[in-house]
Amino acid sequence: MKSFFSELKRRNVYKVAVAYGVVGWLVIQVTATVVPALHLPDSVTTAVVVLTMLGFPVALMIAWAFEMTPEGLKRTEEISPDHVIPQWSRRKFVAFVAGVAIIAAGLLIYQFIKPKSAEAPSAEVNGPVKAIPQKSIAVLPFENLSDDKSAAYFADGVQDEILTKLAGVADLKVISRTSTVKYKSKPEDLNTVSQQLGVANVLEGSVQKAGEKVRVNVQLIDARADSHLWAKSYDRDIKDVFAVESEVAQEIADSLQAKLSPKEANALATAPTADTAAYDLFLKGEYEFRRAGSNLRPESFDQAVAWYQQAIDRDPNFALAIARLVECRLQRHWFIENLTDSELTEVRRIADRALAIAPDLSEAHVALGMFHYFGHRDYDRALAEYSRATQLQPNNAQAFEFSGYVYRRQGKWGASLEELRKGLEMDPRNAALAGNFAGTYGNLRIWKDEEELARHAIIIDPYEVVGMRALLLAIQNGRGDVAEAQRTLATFPPDAKLVSNSILGSAPSVTGERAYAFVIAHKFDEALKIWDAAPANVADQRRQLSARAVIRILAGDLAGAKLDAEKAEKLLLDRLQAQPNELSVLTELSWVYLALNRNADALKYSRKAAESLTPQKDALVGPSNLAGLAEISAHTGDTADAIAILRELLSIPAGDTVSIPRLKIDPVWNPIRNDPGFQKLLTEKELVGPAE
C-alpha cells in the first residue's frame, strides 16, 4: 500500500488532482459570471459544472497513465520504475495554484457584491415582486413555415389575433405583443421567459400558408415546469383562419380554467372581418405600423396607412382596421409632423366611424383617446376613453400606458407612475414604455430610478430612443458627469439621433440630445457632424439648419450661425404660415432670430411658445418651453427674467430640463454664469419627487 501511494506521488497524480480542482473551480466561477452577463440559459452553467466533475477522474487516469518527459509525452509503463520522473517545481506549482485560487475567489466575491443588473429593475422601480398567477399566459411569436418568407406578416397576424382575443378575458393575465415579440418562436429556456414576463404559461406556434390553405400548429406549455399541456394542428382554408384563432383562444381559456362572461365568450368567437383579403391587407398594415413605431420614419407610417386604407376599401365595416388607421395617422402627427386642423377633423370623423360600427371595440376607444390626447390635448376626454378601453379589454397594456402619459401631462405624477407601472406589468419587455417610465422619474429628479430603468430599456432594445435619452439625462442632469455621458453616448448606435418631436422648447430639443451631449462637452465640431447628412425633406432641412445655428451660437461662431439662420428663416416662416402654433417652429425661429441678431423677434417667438403651452397646460412639455424662454432671455441680456424662470423650474417637476448639476455644466447659460443671482441659484434646493 505504501508503494502505491509513493507511486501516486512519483507520477504527479496528487499535484494533478490539486491543479485540476483549482482550475475547475476557476472555470465554474468564470461561467457563473459570464452566463448572466450574456443572457445565456442557466443550463449552460449546469453543463459546465457537470462536465468539470466528470473530467476529474479522467484527469487522474491520464496523470497515472502518462508523463511529460524531456523526450515528450510517454506512457508511464514505458518508464522504468527506478527512473525519476521530472517533478514540477514546488515554488512554481504553489504560485500557479495560489494565482488561480485568487482569481476564482475574486470572481466568487464579485457574485455576492456585484450591482443589480439593469435587466431586472429593482422592486423600488417596479414595485414589490409579485407571485406569478397560474392564469397567466404569453403568446410567443409564431414561426413562419411558409415557402414565401415574406408571409411573416401573416404568422404575426395569427399570433396577434389570438393574443388580442385572450386580452379581453378579465380572469387572465395576458402579456402584450410588444413584449413577446422580443423572444424566439421556441425559446430554449422557458423558465427564464416565465420569470422575465411574469407568466406561468406560454403558447408556441407556427403558421404555414400555401395558396388558399393554411396550417396552424400550437402548443400550450407550462413554462415553469417546461411541460406540454396540449398541442393541436389545424389544416383549414384561408377563409377559416378566424375560426382557428377563436378555437385556439377558447382552448387556452378552458385549459387555464378562466371564467368567461357571456360578452367575453362572444368576443372570442367574433372575427374582425369576414373578408380574408381585407384581413391580409390589414396584417400588412400592422406589420408596417410596428416598423414605423420602431424607426419613426415617415415612409413607414405612410405605407401602413396605405395598407389599412386598402383593407377598409374592401370591407368598409372593418372597425379594427379603421381604428388602427386613426392611431397610425395620429402617431405620425405627434412624432413626425403635425396634421392641419382640417386633417385632424377628418381623423376625428374616421375615429367616430369605428365606434359607430363597433362601440365595444377596445382599440376604437384607444384610437379616440389618442385623438383627444394627440390632437387637442383634451386630457380628461382622453382618460375617459382609455378607461373604457380597459373595461372592455382588461389586459390592454396600451390603454394603461397612455393613461400614464396623460396623467403626467396633467401634473398628476403619482397617478402617472401607477398607470405606467400597470402597463409595464402587462408589457414588461416594452422598451419604449420602460424608457418613458424612466423619463418620468427624471422629470421628478429621481435620478437613480431613471438611470436603472433607462438601462433596462436599452438592454431590451439598444435602439430605443426614449430610453437612450433618459439615460443620458440621468447622467447629465442627475450627476453632471460629462465624461460618463460621453462614454455612454459612445455605446449607442451611431444612427440614433435622439430627437423627439413630441418634446420641444429648449436648445437640446432643437439639436437633439446626441448632438447636445457633445455641446455640453464643448465638442462643437462633433455636434455639428451629427447634422451633416443631407436632409430627406423640407422638414428635415428646417430642423438641420436650426440645429446647426444653435450649436454655432453656443460655440461662439456667430458668423457661421448667421449663415445657417439666413437659410432657415424662409423655410420656417413658410411652415409657420401653414401651422401658426407649431411649437417646434416657434422654438427654432427664436434661435434663428437670435443668430440674426434680431433679439426682439427671438424673444417674441420664444415667449409665444412658452405662453402657448405653459406648465399648467402641460406639465411635461410646458417646463421645456419655459426653459427655452429662459435660454433666449439669457442670450438677449434679460438676465433677471432668465434667473426668475430658472428658479420657478427648480421648484416644480422639471428635471428633464433643469437641475442644479445641469446648470453647472450647460454652456447655454454661459452669458449669465458669472451673475451673482445665477451663482446663488446653484446653492439652492430643487424639488425632488411629485409636487402633488
CATH number of the domain that residue 225 is part of:
3.40.50.10610
Cα 178 to Cα 457: distance, rounded to the nearest angstrom? 13
Quick one: 519 and 663 in the same domain?
yes
E-assigned strands of 125-196? 136-139, 143-144, 173-174
Cα 32 → chain centroid: 27
Quick one: 59 and 105 in the same domain?
yes
Residue 551 domain flag:
yes
- Of 615, 585, 587, 595, whose CA–CA distance to 555 is shortest? 595
Quick one: 267 and 281 in the same domain?
no
Query: For residue range 402-457, what is the model confidence (pLDDT) as tens digits?
Result: 999 999 999 999 999 999 999 999 999 899 899 999 999 999 999 999 999 999 99
H/E stretch holding 190 reads helix 190-197
Highest mean pLDDT of the ranges 287-296, 463-472, 641-650: 641-650
Quick one: 542 and 590 in the same domain?
yes
Residue whose cell numbers read 451673482? 676
Number of independent structural domains in the chain: 4
What percent of the chain stands above pLDDT 90?
Answer: 54
Quick one: 502 and 612 in the same domain?
yes
* Residue that finishes a domain, picked among 242, 271, 300: 271
Q: Residue 537: pLDDT band by 50, 70, 90 thresholds?
A: confident
Q: At residue 75, does pLDDT exceed 70?
A: no
Quick one: 101 and 246 in the same domain?
no
Residue 341 domain flag:
yes
Instruction: Record the pTM.
Output: 0.75
Residue range of the domain that includes 675? 497-681
Q: Residue 554: pLDDT band by 50, 70, 90 thresholds?
A: very high
Query: For residue range 190-218, what is the model confidence (pLDDT) as tens digits?
Result: 888 888 999 999 999 999 988 888 899 99
Query: For residue range 109-118, what is the model confidence (pLDDT) as tens digits?
Result: 555 544 444 3
SS3 sequence of 503-527: CCCCHHHHHCHHHHHHHHCCCHHHH
Count of other CB atoms within 10 angstroms of residue 487: 11
Quick one: 82 and 167 in the same domain?
no
| Residues contacting residue 212 through CB under 8 Å, at least 6 positions apart | 237, 238, 239
Distance (Å) of CA 481 to CA 121, 472, 508, 530: 22, 10, 17, 21
Q: What is the pLDDT of residue 16?
A: 65
Cα 447 to Cα 205: distance, rounded to the nearest angstrom? 41
Residue 465 domain flag:
no
Quick one: 190 and 266 in the same domain?
yes
We report the CATH number of the domain holding residue 314 as 1.25.40.10
Residue 27 domain flag:
yes
Q: What is the pLDDT of residue 29?
A: 64
In whole numbers, what is the pLDDT of the chain averaged over residues?
A: 85
| Residues contacting residue 448 through CB under 8 Å, at least 6 positions apart | 478
Query: For residue range 570-584, what is the model confidence (pLDDT) as tens digits?
Result: 999 999 998 888 889
For the chain, how far is it from start to end, CA to CA, in angstroms? Answer: 83
27: left (phi over 0), alpha (psi -120 to 50) or beta: alpha
Q: What is the pLDDT of residue 116?
A: 41
Q: Residue 123: pLDDT band by 50, 70, 90 thresholds?
A: very low
Query: For residue range 23-66, what is the model confidence (pLDDT) as tens digits?
Result: 666 666 666 665 555 545 556 667 666 677 777 677 666 665 65
Three cell numbers, residue 113: 457584491
Q: At residue 394, does pLDDT exceed 90?
A: yes
Q: Is the CB of residue 400 less than 8 Å from the CB of residue 422? A: yes
Cα 153 to Cα 285: distance, rounded to the nearest angstrom? 9
Residue 426 domain flag:
no
Quick one: 81 and 198 in the same domain?
no
Q: Is the CB of residue 590 less than 8 Å from the CB of residue 571? A: no
Cα 498 to Cα 500: distance, rounded to the nearest angstrom? 7
Residue 456 domain flag:
no
Quick one: 552 and 666 in the same domain?
yes
Quick one: 167 and 257 in the same domain?
yes
Task: Taking the CA atoms of 521, 473, 514 and 576 in sequence, report the sign of the dihedral they define.
Answer: negative
Mean of pLDDT values over 361-367 = 96
Residue 80 domain flag:
yes
Quick one: 654 and 627 in the same domain?
yes
Q: At residue 482, does pLDDT exceed 60?
A: yes
Residue 510 domain flag:
yes
